[in-house]
Amino acid sequence: MSTTPADDLVRTAELMEAAGGYAVRLLEGLAERPAARAPVRPEPRPLPLAGAGTSAAMAEFAARWEPGFAASAGPRYLGFVTGGSTPASVVGDWLTGVLDQNPTSGLDSTAPDLERETVAWLRELFGLPAGQQGAFVSGATMSNATGLAIGREWLGEQRGVSVADEGVAALGPVRVLSGSAHSSIGKALALLGLGRSALRKVDVLPGREAVDVSRLAEALAELDGAPAIVVANAGTVNTGDFDDLAAIAALRERFPFWLHVDAAFGAFAALSPGHAHLVAALGAADSICADLHKWLNVPYDSAVQFTHRRDLQARVFQNHAAYLGPLGEEPDPVHLTPENSRRLRALAAWFTLAAYGREGHAEIVGRDLALAARLGERIAAMPGYRLLAPVRLNVVCFTLSGDPARVDEVARAITASGEAFLTTTVYDGVPALRAAFSNWRTTEADVERVAAVLEKVSA
Ligand SMILES: Cc1ncc(COP(=O)(O)O)c(C=O)c1O
């Protein structure tokens, strides 16, 4: 006989207690769990005909799947740009599932208002002006896509068409200019029908990933007054470099363009007194992307997008239906983002901001910045490695002093040690390793452990 949800319902307290105990054991073991695993898939199992209940499912997950899971929320997982989950955000995330709100519309619940409050808190955290309004999306890729979709509508406005109504063919060819665009920009352009080839790389400053603003001005001048999109980068993924946002924004006095800023993790520079100047002009952007499952340390998936042209945003994403209610003065989230139904992602972010405030999150950012700088110093002093760029923010980009082609081998050896997880890249044509600090748990002792494994594997 199959177990039904109703059978489990009468055991809710017992099941929650068991799940809580299991979660606590996982969290307590996180720092010593291998940072990453070389994936070995468990033997596939067919769909169970009869269910065995939640306790049995938990036991099976713990035996078959959990051992292969990485400590990606742990302190020495420095691959990609990966945040962990603060205790408050985990609680908020659990309650998201428990309450299971769909903040699509405000017809039944205050959940959309909680999202609005959280967006307003984030706006304040990043020092953005009140005119920048936003909504939650699944990640920086979706945030970039949303910002570019609004930019696409703005291009239509300049040319006297509505792309949302008439389709992208009515727009004609579009030029998107950027110095060191993240790969997700190409994906967004493909998704939006603008095409990956619309993206033109503009020269960067010598030895930098930041765009050369005079070359950007030249590229815009070549467009002969045709409106364009500029994607500025605040925190590049290889070296954490920043475009000069103020100088780029000032170019709008001379050329017509939509300024989208990918500040996926760079937006958090606003929390560091020594780095805030890098994003002081962020609020001048037309659309902004900031990821939250990175440096805010909330569970996947979570990001926010901002724009000061909510009218264009609603034109793109409006989802009129008699049963959903009117668009109204303050459109519900259903009219603002690519999804209709969606989880109340904002709750985890709300919890961590309510629990730790600006100061708590500034402490995380400040510590990660100091730790990245520390690892940079340690690597610079190691004969086996050389830094490829100064540590500008939270990413340490380096290669082997001997044969850079060995970086994959070295990355595998680091993973196999279980001590740390770093990802590889190619920076300015050189195969490289990256260590990105955005986890709230990482300490100086962790940096020493990472430095020790780096020394060992390069020997
Ligand atoms: C600068 C930048 N933009 C966009 C992204 C894409 O983020 P996500 O994977 O959350 O969609 C990343 C991810 O590392 C990033 O660093």
DSSP of 222-250: TTTT--EEEEEEBS-TTT--B--HHHHHH
pLDDT given for residue 324 in this prediction:
78
Percent of the chain scored above 90 by pLDDT?
A: 95
> What is the distance in A from the centroid of ligand 1 to the CA of 293?
10
> What is the distance in A from the centroid of ligand 1 to the CA of 144?
9
Structure token pair of residue 54? 């939640």
Bridge partner residues of 230 (DSSP): 177, 259
CA dihedral of 341, 347, 348, 352, whole degrees rounded to 10:
160
Which of the residues in the chain have pLDDT under 70?
none
Whether the Cβ atoms of residue 290 and residue 267 lie closer than 8 Å to each other:
yes
Going by C-alpha positions, the residue among 349, 354, 233, 239 that lies closest to residue 292 is: 349
> What is the distance in A from the centroid of ligand 1 to the CA of 410?
24
Element (H, E) at 113: helix 111-125
| Radius of gyration of the chain measured on its C-alpha atoms | 23
Say how far apart CA 291 and CA 265 lie, in whole Å: 6
pLDDT given for residue 326 in this prediction:
74
Chain centre to alpha carbon of residue 5: 35
Say how far apart CA 335 and CA 320 lie, in whole Å: 8
Structure token pair of residue 180? 């060191």
pLDDT given for residue 292 in this prediction:
98
Ligand 1 atom nearest the C-alpha of 263 is 1
Find out whether the beta carbon of 423 lies less than 6 Å from any atom of ligand 1. no
Going by C-alpha positions, the residue among 218, 275, 284 that lies closest to residue 246 is: 284
Find out whether the beta carbon of 181 lies less than 6 Å from any atom of ligand 1. no
pLDDT given for residue 328 in this prediction:
78
First to last CA, the chain: 59
Going by C-alpha positions, the residue among 183, 95, 105, 94 that lies closest to residue 145 is: 183
Ligand 1 atom nearest the C-alpha of 291 is 10
pLDDT 10s digits, 190-229: 999 999 999 999 999 999 999 999 999 999 999 999 999 9
Please classify residue 429 by burial: count the beta carbons closer than 10 Å to its beta carbon, then call 0-12 exposed, 13-18 middle and 19+ buried: exposed
CA-proximal residue: ligand 1, atom 7 (nearest): 140
> What is the distance in A from the centroid of ligand 1 to the CA of 155?
24
Say how far apart CA 336 and CA 317 lie, in whole Å: 5
Find out whether the beta carbon of 141 lies less than 6 Å from any atom of ligand 1. yes
> What is the distance in A from the centroid of ligand 1 to the CA of 186?
12
Ligand 1 atom nearest the C-alpha of 80 is 14
Find out whether the beta carbon of 260 lies less than 6 Å from any atom of ligand 1. no
Ligand 1 binding pocket mutation candidate from 136, 287, 291 (most atoms within 8 A of CB): 291
Say how far apart CA 372 and CA 393 lie, in whole Å: 7
Please classify residue 4 by burial: count the beta carbons closer than 10 Å to its beta carbon, then call 0-12 exposed, 13-18 middle and 19+ buried: exposed
Ligand 1 atom nearest the C-alpha of 236 is 1
Say how far apart CA 103 and CA 349 lie, in whole Å: 15
Q: Are strands 176-178 and 287-291 parallel, antiparallel or unpaired?
A: unpaired
Residue 43, Cβ neighbours under 10 Å: how many?
5
Find out whether the beta carbon of 264 lies less than 6 Å from any atom of ligand 1. yes
> What is the distance in A from the centroid of ligand 1 to the CA of 408?
22
pLDDT given for residue 1 in this prediction:
82
> What is the distance in A from the centroid of ligand 1 to the CA of 292?
10
CA-proximal residue: ligand 1, atom 4 (nearest): 140
pLDDT given for residue 445 in this prediction:
98
Say how far apart CA 300 and CA 298 lie, in whole Å: 7
Say how far apart CA 430 and CA 285 lie, in whole Å: 32
- Give one DSSP letter per residue of 145-208, joined into a string: HHHHHHHHHHHHHHHT--HHHH-GGGT----EEESS--HHHHHHHHHTTS-GGGEEEPPBPTTS
Say how far apart CA 338 and CA 259 lie, in whole Å: 20
Ligand 1 binding pocket mutation candidate from 81, 184, 293, 337 (most atoms within 8 A of CB): 184
Find out whether the beta carbon of 140 lies less than 6 Å from any atom of ligand 1. yes
Find out whether the beta carbon of 237 lies less than 6 Å from any atom of ligand 1. yes
The model's pTM is: 0.98
> What is the distance in A from the centroid of ligand 1 to the CA of 289?
9
> What is the distance in A from the centroid of ligand 1 to the CA of 120?
22
CA-proximal residue: ligand 1, atom 2 (nearest): 264
**Residue that has been written with the tokens 């770093």 in this structure:** 422
Structure token pair of residue 286? 């037309």
> What is the distance in A from the centroid of ligand 1 to the CA of 94?
24
> What is the distance in A from the centroid of ligand 1 to the CA of 184?
7
